[in-house]
Amino acid sequence: MFRTIFTLSALAAGLLSSSVMAAPTEDIAPRPDARAADARAADRDTVLVAQNDDFDVYYDGRGNRVIVDTETGQVLAIQPPQTRFDRRALRRERLRNLGPVEDDRYYLDDPEDMARLRRRQLEEEGLIVIPPVDEVDPYGDPVDAFPEAPLDGGNYGNNYPRTIKRQPLNEAAIEPVEPTAPGDQAALPPKIDGKIVVDPSLSLGARQEVAALQVLLDRAGASPGVVDGRFGSNVDKALAAYNEITGSNLRSTDVVGIQAALEQSGGDAFASYNITPEDAAGPYVASVPEDYGQKAQLERLSYTSVTEALAERFHMDENYLKALNPEANFNRPGTIIKVANFGRLVATPVARIIADKVKKQVRAYDASGKLIAAYPATIGSADTPSPTGTHAVSRVALDPNYTYNPNINFRQGENNKILTIPPGPNGPVGSVWIALDKPTYGIHGTPDPSKIGKTESHGCVRLTNWDARELAKIVSPGVTVEFID
């Protein structure tokens, strides 16, 4: 009896506990129709989160932002443009609502402060301000930082750069500077305590001092070859010719004498030059091939760069021109550069020419037998020696073609046919050909002016392009050319 009563009591207690525990669940859980309504409300205000938060954002043709689940490809949301937040507009509105800030200090030595000050000034003036990098919205609309295209067919008015017509580069493009001191005797450097004080930039060993000497020699007609600021055999030969031409006894170590002679002959050794649109326009070639067969396929063997063209115009080594102007943009018209002020070209007619094979120099004399010009030269080689004896100039050609004939002269590479090489300063004979009465021989220019007097030729007499051009203007058919050993 007791066991029966205990069992019934335990059963009644279990039913009561089950009822109490189930009651809260029944009161909290919503009805099915209420659950559906809440879900629809949530869909209107929120965006479904993709699996693992991995989703892509696209834009359709109407500007709507489409958010797609990367894993399933399901479209999660479509946001029309007018429903998206304009973060820049909100930011500007927030700044306007803040109003002026009292005691808004900007420190001049703080770059960030100055940047904020400039931005604030631009905003106050109503100008478009590109937001800083750290505030750019990567998914927002891009800032219109550039002006709209013109609506009149592309006419930008008279301020648009004009079309540049390519012109050949002229020799002796700058006029020599007039002497700075009046009278025949130029002013010498000042004296302190009875001693002459020389500009430190002209001290011995400075490359610019050597270049100044080279410019002085060039002015007198005693060409040192390229102006490169370096001593060498070409400078030594030119200095000897300079003393013969001028009747002086100048030494390469006479810094004061060199400076005085520069003042008397045209002023400073260097001048400023403004790069023109024609200089930048060229025409130029990308590169000059070594093979004659490939050269023959080109239209013209022009300069390869502005620096090469300007270096030849001002009788300079290309690398030295760049070293003098390390920050210059040679391809931009209006750039001012420092160049050699070599002065005027020799104009006295030539009556006789000597090609000295030992000194590697060409010397030109007038009708009275006076030396008027001297040029470093490459004259023949052991395999293809230059002529001997006395010959005469037969004709002069500027900017000539070159006929390559392996059956008569030398053979270049695998080219065994006659080729016509187009004209240009980078052609085999440069920009000048002074033909001699001995067939296939002549005096001509070179595409490598820095190698003159230091390498060999194929039997002809090779000068720098500017020296060959100067000689071509003062020589005429019939002038004798004597080759001496």
Q: What is the pLDDT of residue 460?
A: 87
Q: What is the pLDDT of residue 63?
A: 73
Q: How far apart are CA 388 and CA 64, in angstroms?
A: 88
* Cis omega (within 30 of 0) for bond into 283: yes
Q: How far apart are CA 451 and CA 442, in angstroms?
A: 18
Q: How far is CA 373 from CA 91, 218, 366, in A?
A: 76, 9, 9
Q: How many CA atoms lie within 13 A of 338 on its CB side?
A: 15
Q: What would the pLDDT profile of 89-131 be if each residue is shown by its tens digit? A: 555 566 666 554 444 555 555 666 667 777 777 777 665 444 4
Q: Are 336 and 324 in contact, with CB atoms under 8 Å apart?
A: no
Q: Look at the block and give the residue holding tokens 């070293």.
A: 323
Q: How far apart are CA 213 and CA 253, in angstroms?
A: 10
Q: What would the pLDDT profile of 327-376 be if each residue is shown by its tens digit? A: 999 999 999 999 999 988 999 999 999 999 999 999 999 999 999 999 99
Burial class (CB in 10 A: 0-12, 13-18, 19+), 209: buried
Element (H, E) at 481: strand 480-484
Q: How far is CA 356 from CA 205, 348, 376, 386, 449, in A?
A: 30, 21, 10, 11, 19
Q: b/e string for 141-177 if b means 16 or more Cβ within 10 A?
A: eeeeeeeeeeeeeeeeeeeeeeeeeeeebebbebeeb
Burial class (CB in 10 A: 0-12, 13-18, 19+), 26: exposed
Q: How far apart are CA 140 and CA 131, in angstroms?
A: 12
Q: What is the pLDDT of residue 372?
A: 97
pTM of this structure: 0.59
Left, alpha or beta for 373 (phi > 0: left; psi -120 to 50: alpha)? beta
Q: b/e string for 78-106 if b means 16 or more Cβ within 10 A?
A: ebeeeeeeeebeeeeeeeeeeeeeeeeee
Tokens of 393: 């100039």
Coil, helix or strand at residue 312 = helix
Q: How far apart are CA 192 and CA 175, in angstroms?
A: 34
**Ranges under pLDDT 70 in the chain:** 1-54, 81-114, 125-206, 381-384, 455-459
| Catalytic residue list | 444, 460
Q: What would the pLDDT profile of 197-222 be if each residue is shown by its tens digit? A: 444 433 333 378 999 999 999 999 99
Q: Look at the block and give the residue holding tokens 């009046």.
A: 182
Task: For residue 204, give the DSSP letter.
Answer: T
For the chain, give the number of residues: 485
Q: How far apart are CA 202 and CA 263, in angstroms?
A: 14
Q: What are phi and psi of 451, to 5 degrees?
A: -100, 0
Per DSSP, helices labelled H in 247-347 are: 255-265, 277-281, 292-295, 306-313, 318-324
Q: What are phi and psi of 240, to 5 degrees?
A: -65, -40
